Amino acid sequence: MDRFVFKPMRMEDIQFKPEYHGSGLFAELYRYLTTIIPAETRYVEAFSGKENIKSQEILKHLGLTVIGENKNGRSYHFKGAYKALSERYSVE
């Protein structure tokens, strides 16, 4: 039986300067990530501050849904299938 060793990959914080909003930079970042994240990855998770509506909208647009909150209750915990992200942003 094959065993997979899953190593978490983390990006602590992503922020773009306002002049780059709507420029396609975010999509380019995700295209790049699909080239380095292992294909067998099942899901992705993210956190967004409860006051950060823009971030929440982006995560929902990416297909992630709220599954809870962080320990201190200040952020929402999102989760979604990696397959959907990789199909949308794959460079192939």
- pLDDT at position 40 is 86
Tokens of 26: 């975010």
Q: Which residues are registered as beta bridge partners of 79?
A: 45, 65
- pLDDT at position 26 is 81
- pLDDT at position 49 is 92
Over its length of 92 residues, how does the chain's per-residue pLDDT go in tens digits?
455 555 666 766 778 888 988 898 888 888 888 888 888 889 989 999 999 998 899 889 888 999 999 999 999 999 999 988 888 877 76
Q: Judge contact between 55 and 21, C-beta under 8 A.
A: no
